[in-house]
Amino acid sequence: MLGSNLQTKPSTSRSTARMSPKVSSRKQTNFESPVANKYLSGLNSGILTTVGNTPLIKLAKVFKDVDFQIFAKLEMFNPGGSVKDRPAVNMLKNAFADGQIEPGYTIVESSSGNLGIGLAQACLVLGLHLICVVDPKTTSQNIKILEAYGATVDVVTEPDPATGDFLPARINRVKSLLDSIPKSFWCQQYANMNNVRAHHQTMHEIATALDGKLDYLFCSTGTCGTLRGCSEYIKSHNLTTKIIAVDAKGSVIFGDKRGKRLIPGHGAARVPELFQPGLEDMCVHVSDWDCIVGCHHLLKSEAILAGGSSGAVIAAIAKKRFEIPSGANCAAILCDRGERYLDTIYTDSWVKEHFGNAQLHALN
Ligand SMILES: Cc1ncc(COP(=O)(O)O)c(C=O)c1O
C-alpha cells in the first residue's frame, strides 16, 4: 500500500542520522598531471564553484492549515538555472579524470533543456565544444541560451519513422555525430552514474541542513539521476527518509501508459538505464494541469517563480497532504526557474489554448 509508507512517526522523535562531513568522489587519478590541473582550474575557481550548495528554505504559506513542515531546495540558484548544472559538471569532471575526454574534445548530448544549458556553461569554462542535439519542440529561448554559451545547436527535424518519437531520432543523430567527429564524447545522461553521484551531494546538503531529520523527500524524475542519487545517499547513511518520486502522467518510468506531455523537465518516453525498482517508496503521477496549478500556487503563495516540475512536486504534496503525519519534515526539490516557462505555464493565452477558458479562469 502506498499510503502505508506515510504512517511513520515524524523525525522529531528520532535520533540524528549519521552524516559524513563530505561526499567522497570516486576517482582522482588524472587530476594529478599539471596539464590536467591547468585545464581543470575552471572547476575550482569562477562560476562553476557556484554550482550546488543551493538554499533550503521553509515554505510557510504554500499550504495553510497543515501541521507538517515543508522545505524547498532551490535548485534554480545554480548558475545555469537548474538542478542539471550538478550532473553536467560532474559528468565532465569524471570523464576527464577517467581519460575519456581531453582538451580539444567535442561533447555531444541530446538535451532540449536544462542539461544542455548546464553542459554549455561548463564546456565554455573548460574550453570544450558542445553540440547539443535538440528537436523542433525545443523552445527558441533555450536555443538562444545554448547559443549564447557558445554551443552548436543541431536540430533534428524528423521523428523516428518507427515510433513517431523525436527521442530515438535525436539519439541516432548523436551516434552519427560521434562517428563523424574523431575526438568526441557523449555524456549519456540517462545511463551515466556520474549523473547519479552528483546528487549524493544534493541529498547531503538537504540532510545536513535538517540535521538528518527528514521524513519525506519529494523528487521529480526524468533521467532518475536525482532520484537515484538521493536514494543511494539515504540508504548509505541509514536515514529513515521516504522518497516520493513525482512523475508526469504519460511518462513510462513507473509503468504509466505512454501519453502526450506538454511540460518539459520531468517524465520520460523510455525507462532510463539509471532507473532501478525500489529507488522510491512511492510514486505520484501528476498531470500537466496539476503542474500548472502547482506553479501558480507556489508563485502566489511564496513569490517563487519556478518551472514545471516544481509545480509537479507542489501538486504531489497537495495530493498526499492528508497522509503526512503531524510534525513531519518534508523537503521538495524545486528543479529550475520559471523564466523558461514564461511563454507557456505563465501565459494566459497558452493555458487557454491547451486547457480551455474555464480552466484559465479557475487558475486566476
Ligand atoms: C526541470 C527539471 N525537472 C526535473 C528533471 C528530472 O531530473 P532527473 O533527470 O535527475 O531525473 C529535469 C531533468 O532534466 C529537469 O530539467
Determine the distance separating the centroid of ligand 1 and the alpha carbon of 270, expressed in angstroms: 14
Cα angle value 330/316/89 (rounded, 5°): 70
| DSSP secondary structure letters along 92-159 | HHHHHHTTS--TT-EEEEE-SSHHHHHHHHHHHHHT-EEEEEE-TTS-HHHHHHHHHTTPEEEE--S-
Determine the distance separating the centroid of ligand 1 and the alpha carbon of 22, expressed in angstroms: 24
Determine the distance separating the centroid of ligand 1 and the alpha carbon of 196, expressed in angstroms: 12
- What is residue 189's DSSP assignment? T
Determine the distance separating the centroid of ligand 1 and the alpha carbon of 214, expressed in angstroms: 22
75 in contact with ligand 1, CB cutoff 6 A: no
Q: What is the mean pLDDT of the chain?
A: 90
221 in contact with ligand 1, CB cutoff 6 A: yes
Specify the CATH number for 85-186; select among 3.40.50.1100, 2.60.40.10, 3.90.950.10, 3.20.20.140: 3.40.50.1100
Residue reference for cell 538505464: 273
pTM, entire model: 0.90
Give the model confidence (pLDDT) of 120-150 as tens digits.
999 999 999 999 999 888 888 999 999 999 9
Give the model confidence (pLDDT) of 176-216 as tens digits.
999 999 999 999 999 999 999 999 999 999 999 999 999 99
Determine the distance separating the centroid of ligand 1 and the alpha carbon of 118, expressed in angstroms: 12
Instruction: Please state the domain extents for the chain.
Output: 8-15+25-78+199-363, 85-186
264 in contact with ligand 1, CB cutoff 6 A: no
Q: Describe the crossing of helices 193-209 and 85-97 by its angle, rounded to 10 degrees.
A: 130
294 in contact with ligand 1, CB cutoff 6 A: no
| DSSP secondary structure letters along 209-250 | HTTT--SEEEEE-SSSHHHHHHHHHHHHTT--PEEEEEEETT
Per CATH, which fold does 8-15+25-78+199-363 belong to?
A: Rossmann fold (3.40.50)
